[in-house]
Structure formats: C-alpha cells, structure tokens
Structure 1
Amino acid sequence: MEDVIFLIKDLRNAVAHNSVIFDCRFKKADPPSKVTEYLQTQTTISNITFNHIVDYFIILVVLLRKVGVTRTEC
C-alpha cells in the first residue's frame, strides 16, 4: 500500500499546484515492479509503465473499486 500511495502522491501534488499532468512530467521515479504486476493481474491490462496519464487513471479506478465505488461511478 505504501508504494501505491507514493506513486499517486506525485500526481496529487501536480494537480494541487496546477502543473502539467498530461505528459507525466510530474513522475519522479519509476514505479515498483510489484505495483505494476498487481495492477496487470487485477485489470488484465498489459504494459502498465506509468509513462502515460492513462496508467494513473487505471490505478485510481482500481483503488476506487477496492473501497466499494460502483463500476458506473468509476
């Protein structure tokens, strides 16, 4: 869980400070392989690298689903 929090922290800070997020300039480090492997098994989406903003949307949707948000709301 700690790795996931640190991964989305950079996105949160970029949004909070009105920085550019579309090209993932905010990314400070490569994500741990265990996080990408977990996301790939949970979603059956391959090649999650966090080099594109879509990968961050994937992790946010997975987290929302884990806390009980419906598929429609996601």
Structure 2
Amino acid sequence: MTMQDFLSLEDGGYISPDQAAALNRDLAAKALSDIAPDDRQNVLDYLLNAMAINSVEYDIREKIDALIMDLQS
C-alpha cells in the first residue's frame, strides 16, 4: 500500500498487516514536502497510532520518527 492508497481509503477502511508494513515503508521514504498540507494530519494520526501499537519495523523507526517530528512542527 502506498501513501496515495491510504489517503484514498474511505472512513473506517481496513488495512491488513501486510498493507500496513508496505505503507510504513512507503512513508519512511517520504519527506514533509511529499505530503500535501491537507493530508498531513491524517498521515500524522496514522503514524502515531502505528508507533503506539509497535507496528513499525525497527529498521525504519528512525525515519518514521523524523517524519513525525516534521509533521508536528
């Protein structure tokens, strides 16, 4: 799943564990400038939840943390 796939989900849409892993990897490669201002809160909410439930793979956590910090600033 890509960020665009995620952003096009309807409210209450389901993301499988495999889709979440792919989405996390896609987001780890993104910079703040890659995310439209209107989509940033949605991406931030997803990432905070993903980190809270420990579903982000260890090798990309640093990049996800950096993106979260950028989204929060």
Q: TM-score, normalised by structure 1?
A: 0.31
- Pick the structure with more helix per residue: 2
Which protein has greater RCO, CA pairs closer than 8 Å, 6+ apart?
2
Q: TM-score, normalised by structure 2?
A: 0.32
